[in-house]
């Protein structure tokens, strides 16, 4: 047996209306409640906020988190949380990422600029609960927080200290999502599973187990969740799949798809799941030779009939299956649909090279010329 380490992540609480239990989890005293204005307006946070108040945990609401949250937003959340005893992140990946770093900065008082990268946050954060309202980012399971700095560049903090104490999966919170969000976030979670399973670094039997089951759940339920949004069984399966994918890539980090997706979010404000969908099949094709045995395994996982084919056909069939899922979901399939022009490709390729912490995990190298070619193929 090869040596490896595996970190399971937060304590998991799952079930319909599970978010109503937040008051049982957190210490008494004020709690910084990080969310966004749209979720507040929809009333999705009302029950959780009432449960906190009833338990003597005074929620101090910060609802100014935007997509691709900025450093300024993070620091505003930290300022709002001064004197709090705990932190709740309620929403998609953006509120949860802000909540993770806010809990750490409030607990330690450290300088954010000393934390960027892997393993630099080693202090003790405030108690933290994360409640995803989309089945996609898996942020509730991971030690990673992504923040936009300088207006366009995405930088990350990845350290075990950011892993939440509790992850609360409540399928009822996801039933009101628009089809486009369900599709994009579901594809985001699939990319997490795929890239964890094929990661060049730190891939191990436990991350493989989580990634395979995550992909099985996500592929098996995304169409039902899109077409029948009130189906709690499908929604619950998607939430669990996204969570397991998060656990997988918290241990076996993601690679080239994410590296090329981040500049699309930073410069063109493309939602992260859509960015991943736009680049998925192109990067899979680039990786096909290096990752062929692993793609073949995932192909037979999704379609046992592929077991009668050769390895190359299985791997190619897997890539084609993922492309078909993207097409049926209705997400954008061309960069031109999200405002990218040929004149932008050099910038995107250059920006992708800044994602060194992700590129090193890809099954094969992606040089700047490769990145430009892949963006051009997606245009």
pLDDT in tens, 279-322: 999 999 999 999 999 999 999 999 999 989 999 999 999 999 99
Give the per-residue pLDDT at 370. 98
Indicate the average pLDDT of the chain. 95
DSSP secondary structure string for all residues of 283-295? HHHHHHHHHHHHH
Do 348 and 282 touch, CB atoms closer than 8 A?
A: no
User: Given a cut of 90, is residue 127 above it in pLDDT?
Assistant: yes
HEC-encoded secondary structure of 101-145: HHHHHHHHCCCHHHCCEECCCCCCCCCEEEEECCCCCCHHHCCEE
Digit-coded pLDDT (tens) for 16-40: 999 999 999 999 999 999 999 999 9
CATH classification (class only), 179-378: mainly alpha
Tokens linked to 358: 């992700």
Give the per-residue pLDDT at 152. 79
Digit-coded pLDDT (tens) for 178-204: 999 999 999 999 999 999 999 999 999
Element (H, E) at 91: strand 86-91
Digit-coded pLDDT (tens) for 210-227: 999 999 999 999 999 999
Question: In which band, very low, low, confident or very high, does the pLDDT at 1 lie, cut at 50, 70 and 90?
Answer: confident
Domain boundaries, the chain: 11-173, 179-378
Tokens linked to 49: 């906020």
Tokens linked to 208: 């493989």
What fold is seen in the domain 11-173? Rossmann fold (3.40.50)
The residue written with tokens 């579901």 in the block is 186
> Rounded to an integer, what distance in angstroms lies between the CA atom of residue 101 and that of residue 78?
9
Question: In which band, very low, low, confident or very high, does the pLDDT at 112 lie, cut at 50, 70 and 90?
Answer: very high
> Rounded to an integer, what distance in angstroms lies between the CA atom of residue 86 and that of residue 273?
29
Tokens linked to 357: 């912490």
């Amino acid at each position: 047996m090869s040596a490896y380490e595996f970190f399971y992540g937060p304590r998991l609480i799952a079930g319909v209306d599970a978010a109503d239990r937040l008051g049982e989890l957190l210490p008494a005293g004020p709690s910084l409640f990080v969310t966004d204005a749209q979720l507040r307006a929809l009333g999705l946070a009302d029950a959780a906020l009432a449960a906190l108040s009833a338990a003597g945990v005074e929620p101090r609401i910060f609802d100014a988190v935007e997509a691709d949250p900025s450093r300024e937003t993070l620091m505003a959340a930290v300022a709002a949380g001064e004197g709090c005893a705990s932190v709740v992140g309620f929403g998609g990946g953006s509120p949860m990422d802000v909540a993770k770093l806010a809990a750490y900065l409030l607990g330690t008082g450290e300088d954010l600029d000393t934390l960027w990268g892997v393993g630099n946050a080693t202090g003790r954060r405030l108690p933290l609960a994360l409640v995803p309202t989309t089945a996609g980012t898996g942020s509730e399971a991971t030690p990673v927080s992504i923040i936009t700095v300088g207006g366009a560049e995405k930088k990350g903090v990845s350290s075990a200290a950011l892993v939440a104490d509790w992850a609360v999966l409540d399928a009822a919170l996801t039933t009101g999502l628009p089809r486009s969000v369900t599709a994009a976030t579901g594809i985001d979670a699939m990319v997490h599973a795929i890239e964890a399973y094929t990661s060049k670094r730190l891939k191990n039997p436990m991350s493989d187990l989580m990634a395979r089951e995550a992909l099985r759940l996500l592929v098996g339920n995304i169409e039902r969740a899109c077409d029948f949004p009130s189906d709690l069984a499908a929604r619950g399966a998607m939430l669990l799949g996204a969570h397991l994918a998060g656990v997988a890539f918290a241990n076996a980090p993601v690679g080239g798809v994410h590296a090329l997706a981040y500049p699309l979010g930073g410069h063109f404000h493309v939602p992260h799941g859509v960015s991943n969908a736009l680049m998925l099949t192109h990067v899979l094709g680039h990786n096909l030779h290096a990752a062929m045995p692993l793609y073949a395994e995932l192909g037979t996982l999704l379609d046992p009939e592929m077991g009668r084919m050769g390895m190359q056909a299985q791997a190619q069939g897997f890539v084609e299956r993922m492309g078909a899922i993207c097409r049926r979901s209705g997400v954008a399939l061309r960069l031109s649909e999200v405002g990218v022009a040929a004149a932008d490709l050099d910038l995107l390729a250059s920006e992708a090279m800044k994602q060194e912490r992700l590129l090193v995990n890809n099954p094969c190298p992606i040089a700047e010329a490769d990145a430009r070619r892949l963006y051009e193929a997606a245009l």
